[in-house]
Amino acid sequence: MMDHDIIIIGAGPAGLSFARAMAETKLDILLIEKQPESVLADPPYDGREIALTHLSHKIMNELGMWDLVPEEHISLIKTAKVMNGHSPYALSFDHTEVGEENLGFMISNHRIRKAAYDSVKDYPNVTFLNEVTVSKVDTDDDKGWVELSNGKRLEAPLIIAADSRFSNTRRMMGISTNLLDFGRTCIVCTMEHELPHNDTAYECFYYDRTVAVLPLNNGQVSVVMTLTSEEDTDVLGMDEQEFADDVAQRIDHKFGHLKLSSKRHPYPLVSTLAKSFCANRFGLIGDAAVGMHPVTAHGFNLGLRGAQALAHEIQETLQSDGTFPPNIALERYSRKHRKHCLPLYHGTNALVRLYAISDYRTAKFARKALLRLGNHIKPAKRFIMNQLTETKDI
Ligand SMILES: Cc1cc2nc3c(=O)[nH]c(=O)nc-3n(C[C@H](O)[C@H](O)[C@H](O)COP(=O)(O)OP(=O)(O)OC[C@H]3O[C@@H](n4cnc5c(N)ncnc54)[C@H](O)[C@@H]3O)c2cc1C
């Protein structure tokens, strides 16, 4: 007799969403999380404002998570503009082109985490083990098991790792991973602005630096700035006014006067892609499977899609006695979801590299050409639009 049916390592947004997607099967699910349960119930603000697609909206609705986010904390993106440096030319997308009220949604990461926790916490078959870490994980033909920092050992037929892009358990299971360290830092914060944002998201590419400004409610925008790791201490060390003026100048004063309304949160820019999303009785979801560069805002959207896809594959093979063949579901999930992630991962990294090369004339030409092609070649525009909104995948 095993201790649980499924052990999930990591109760971040991906681990929690997967637990919720499996909760109604009545399988016995354990979430192991190093942070205290009080932090899951009331996560602190971490600077991340997450752009969500229509597909994510649909999945969060189905999982009962969407309605747990108060409406006033959901903002809409209706238009998006991609700019090349200070050039006035923009690659533009408008919600009317997809026949929806908006291109996407914005919700703070801490509110997504809270909604995901609240959606699952009352299921009697889902339990939490907090303030412990997994120090060892392994599997054999019959079972998987984890050893915890408190010395305890727990067994289950299936182990799922949702323990971030720097997943230790992925390494313990010998899954090799493509890791790309951009040598850059991303600084995120919210700012009050003087001129209306008109529900428009701006992505401005300057050589070696990008600034994205995303519309929020209550006269605020989310600012996402990427810069070289040498510059980050200087920028984080600027006083609030100096920083606000620097951002305003970088985005050509499109929003008038700016004022910081949160702390500045730095994140190292490292993207990761596991060579496979599964091993024997062991699966990877969320950032542990694919950790995206934030510039194309795919990270959690892919995490949610993957969590739902794996839950679907397990449910397809679930027998009436509550048993299931884990490796069949894992292999189907890994093959399909990795195929979906692969072009987005490499495409995003190529885009980041193109805008990071400052000296080459060909790169300069390619940057200008890309925006014009995107605007004028209809299939290219439709393709980018669907990646932004995922309306065709609903
Ligand atoms: C600046 C920034 C902006 C972003 N913007 C967007 C966006 O606009 N749209 C979008 O879709 N995505 C975006 N993302 C990506 C998104 O935030 C991530 O994809 C998402 O948070 C990943 O969730 P996760 O649950 O996989 O991992 P995490 O959030 O990293 O959670 C992992 C959990 O595992 C726990 N853990 C780790 N190791 C162990 C262990 N050994 N034992 C027990 N517990 C453990 C951790 O405590 C944590 O709770 C952004 C990311 C950044 C950094």
Domain residue spans in the chain?
6-179+269-393
Per-residue pLDDT of the chain (394 residues; tens, 9 = 90+): 899 999 999 999 999 999 999 999 999 999 999 999 999 999 999 999 999 999 999 999 999 999 999 999 999 999 999 888 777 777 889 999 888 999 999 999 999 999 999 999 999 999 999 999 999 999 999 999 999 999 999 999 999 999 999 999 999 999 999 999 999 999 999 999 999 999 999 988 876 678 999 999 999 999 999 988 788 888 899 999 999 999 999 888 999 999 999 999 999 999 999 999 999 999 999 999 999 999 889 999 999 999 999 999 999 999 999 999 999 999 999 999 999 999 999 999 988 877 765 555 666 666 677 667 677 777 767 777 777 788 888 7
- The whole-number pLDDT of residue 372 equals 72
CA distance 233 to 239: 12
Length of the chain in residues, anyone?
Answer: 394
- The whole-number pLDDT of residue 1 equals 85
CA distance 192 to 258: 6
The 8-class DSSP code of residue 45 comes to: P
Residue 291 alpha carbon, nearest atom of ligand 1:
19
- The whole-number pLDDT of residue 325 equals 95
CA distance 29 to 350: 39
- The whole-number pLDDT of residue 362 equals 62
Using a cut of 0.85, tell me whether the model's pTM lies above it: yes
Ligand 1 centroid vs 102 CA: distance in angstroms? Answer: 25
Residue bearing the CA closest to ligand 1, atom 14: 299
pLDDT tens track for 169-188: 999 999 999 999 999 999 99
Ligand 1 centroid vs 9 CA: distance in angstroms? Answer: 13
Ligand 1 centroid vs 381 CA: distance in angstroms? Answer: 29
Residue bearing the CA closest to ligand 1, atom 49: 12
132, 16 Cβ separation under 8 angstroms: no
Sequence-distant (6+) residues with CB within 8 A of 106 are 49, 50, 51, 52, 74, 75, 76, 77, 214, 215, 216, 222
- The whole-number pLDDT of residue 190 equals 98
Residue 17 alpha carbon, nearest atom of ligand 1:
25
- The whole-number pLDDT of residue 275 equals 98
Q: How far apart are the first and last CA of the chain?
A: 40
Ligand 1 pocket, residue 11 CB under 6 Å: yes
The 8-class DSSP code of residue 122 comes to: T
Determine the angle formed by the axes of helices 378-389 and 361-376, rounding to 10 degrees. Answer: 90
CA distance 210 to 224: 8
Residue 32 alpha carbon, nearest atom of ligand 1:
43
- The whole-number pLDDT of residue 367 equals 65
Ligand 1 pocket, residue 12 CB under 6 Å: yes
Count of alpha carbons within 13 Å of 331, Cβ hemisphere only? 6
Ligand 1 centroid vs 90 CA: distance in angstroms? Answer: 31
- The whole-number pLDDT of residue 308 equals 98
Residue from 164, 166, 210, 262 to probe ligand 1 pocket by mutation (most atoms less than 8 Å from CB): 164
- The whole-number pLDDT of residue 352 equals 83
* Superfamily name with CATH number, domain 6-179+269-393: FAD/NAD(P)-binding domain (3.50.50.60)
Ligand 1 centroid vs 252 CA: distance in angstroms? Answer: 32
Other CB atoms within a 10 A radius of the CB of residue 24 amount to: 12
Nearest CA to 219 out of 32, 111, 75 is that of: 75
Ligand 1 pocket, residue 10 CB under 6 Å: yes
- The whole-number pLDDT of residue 351 equals 82
Residue 10 alpha carbon, nearest atom of ligand 1:
34
Ligand 1 pocket, residue 43 CB under 6 Å: no
Ligand 1 pocket, residue 293 CB under 6 Å: no
CA distance 93 to 99: 12
- The whole-number pLDDT of residue 363 equals 63
- The whole-number pLDDT of residue 83 equals 83
Residue 51 alpha carbon, nearest atom of ligand 1:
8
- Report the DSSP pairing between strands 282-284 and 158-161: parallel
Ligand 1 pocket, residue 15 CB under 6 Å: yes
Residue from 287, 296, 304, 352 to probe ligand 1 pocket by mutation (most atoms less than 8 Å from CB): 287
Other CB atoms within a 10 A radius of the CB of residue 195 amount to: 11
Ligand 1 pocket, residue 303 CB under 6 Å: yes
CA distances for 190 relative to 33, 45, 75, 297, 328, angstroms: 28, 11, 14, 17, 44
- The whole-number pLDDT of residue 360 equals 56
- The whole-number pLDDT of residue 387 equals 78
CA distance 61 to 66: 5
